[in-house]
Amino acid sequence: MALAAAAVLAAVALVPACGNSSSNSSGGGSSTTAGGAAKPSAEPGVTDTEIRVGGVASVTNPLGGKYDQAFDGVKAYFDMVNSEGGVNGRQLKLVSERDDKVASNKDEVRGLLEQDNVFAVLPVATLLFTGADELVAAGVPTFGWTINPEWQGSADNPKANLFGQAGSYLCLGCEQPAVPYIAKEAGKSKVGLLGYAVPQSSQCVDGYDKSFTKYGDEAGASVVFKDSSLSYGTTDFSVQVAKMKDAGVDMVVTCIDTNGVVGLAKELKKQDVKAIQYLPNAYDQELLDEYGDLFEGSYLYTSFLPLESDEPSQGMKDYRKWIEKAGGEVGENSLVGWLNAALFVEGLRKAGPDFTRQKVIDAINSETDWTADGLLSGVDWTESHTQRTNISCSATLKVVDSKFQPVEGPGGTPFVCFDLASGTLEAVRQ
């Protein structure tokens, strides 16, 4: 019997002239148009009066994340544009809001392409992005939340049609100056690093380790404790905190989820460790409403203008006004949707009245300083698909009285920018 089984499997494998398809993705029998110089009316999702787009979010997710708010951000931006007459005489419409339930991303992306007749895909606010190849193969302008490695391109596959909210390149394991800069600003000198024993988390910890190796001297801070072997879902940080206490840690930098940072903060309080945290995944006022006192003095940074900005840019004023009108919530997810929509509309306008998908993509990829009316520090889309730009900017926030408080950069600017080539923490003008 075993032989018979092996024979059947071998027969499948030994079909003559077997090879591998050169296509990265399935095309399907009725794949969508990949662009070209078609008239607008011939483009999918475009009528004489409307431009239709669709998006996908992990609405049903085990983390309790409100990723569906990205839809609200897109709709709010479209409301604003439509109130001004739309683009090229056409109204913008989000016609499809799909829920990928985390595991069905590829299927739902395919549904957008095959069933919903959309011109562009936005927002993509999902925990996994297995449908990325489908979108690249179809050449559809796609805008979303850059947390998955599938967003970033390479020299041989630049994925030029995938646009994150502030660039598409993720580099979890790279050194970067923002966190050493925070340590310097906060006057902290002994850093503890914590991460889970899963690839994304441990790579992120390695990146922070490298960052302090490179910028630590200038920041006056060094890593004195590092543990990236925590089991995912652990609820006990007592031993790690005791070790950090012994090592004199005064700043803890983590690559762990909300459960983890809350558990860690409680343990720091129990063992009376006066250390602040750097919180990469905690830009959520609801979290501070419950646990704000535990994070007093802690920091995080964002790639966009903070929602709490005292002197908001025009982009932030518009966002607040229109998200409220649309009945949405002010928050990171809806802002990401807004940024996605803003970039799409920018490309659409630049592509002109005879726009096509490809023209929109090309128009965006010629942008060298995309700021979304001051919401971003400036994204250079000529290189942001495949590499980090030389100038790295971020906005810093500090937890004060259970609220996020923006920390101004040198000269009172909301963003702090660094020249990565210089290898120093000296802030530069964008």
Residues 36 to 95: which contact another protein by CB under 8 A?
59-60, 62-66
Identify the residue among 186, 191, 249, 262 touching another protein (CB under 8 A).
262
CA atoms of 371 and 364, how far apart (whole Å): 12
Q: Which of 33, 47, 91, 130 is in the footprint of another protein by CB under 8 A?
A: 130
Site residues for another protein, 215-254, by CB under 8 A, read: 225-233, 235-236, 238-240, 242-243
Q: Which CB atom, from 202 or from 356, has the smaller least distance to another protein?
A: 202
Which tokens hold the place of 37? Answer: 């110089």
- Contact window for another protein (CB under 8 A) among 70-78, 79-87, 161-169, 197-205: 197-205
Member of 50, 79, 99, 380 binding another protein (CB under 8 A): 99
Tokens of 92: 């913008």
Cα separation of 192 and 176, whole Å? 17
Q: How far is the CB of 101 from another protein (least distance, A)?
A: 5
Q: What are the residues facing 110 on neighbouring strands? A: none
> What SS3 state is found at 287?
helix
As given in the structure block, the two tokens for residue 112 are 């957008």
For the bound state, the minimum distance from the C-beta of residue 127 to another protein, rounded and expressed in Å, comes to 8
CB of 15 or CB of 37, closer to another protein: 15
Site for another protein in 148-187 (CB under 8 A): 149, 172
Long-range pairs for 257-263: beta carbons < 8 A, 24 or more residues apart: 257/63, 257/281, 258/63, 258/282, 258/284, 258/287, 259/233, 259/235, 260/194, 260/196, 260/230, 260/234, 261/295, 262/287, 262/291, 262/294, 263/234, 263/235, 263/236, 263/237
Bridge-based pairing of strands 50-57 and 120-125 is: parallel
Which sign does the torsion angle of CA 224, 230, 232, 233 carry? negative
Contact status: 2 vs another protein (CB under 8 A): yes
Site string for another protein, 265-304 (x = CB under 8 A): -x--xxxx-------------xx--xx--x----------
Q: Which residues share a beta bridge with 418?
A: 392, 427
CB of 51 to another protein, least distance (A): 20
Sites for another protein among residues 322-351 (CB under 8 A): none
Report, in Å, the least distance between residue 23 CB and another protein.
Answer: 4
Whichever of 298 and 396 has its CB closer to another protein, that residue is: 298
- E strands present in 145-279: 162-164, 190-196, 222-230, 251-255, 276-278
The nearer residue to another protein, 106 or 188, going by C-beta atoms, is 106
Position among 33, 91, 200, 413 found at the interface with another protein (CB under 8 A): 200
CB 232 within 8 A of CB 197: yes
> Minimum Å distance from CB 141 to another protein?
19
> Residue 79 Cβ, how far from another protein at the closest point, in Å?
16
Size of the site for another protein (CB under 8 A): 91
Long-range contacts of the stretch 321-327 (C-beta < 8 A, 24+): 322/76, 322/77, 322/79, 322/80, 323/72, 323/73, 323/76, 325/76, 325/79, 326/72, 326/75, 326/76, 326/79, 327/72
Binders in 3-22 for another protein, by CB under 8 A: 4-5, 8-22
- CB nearer another protein, residue 2 or residue 421: 2
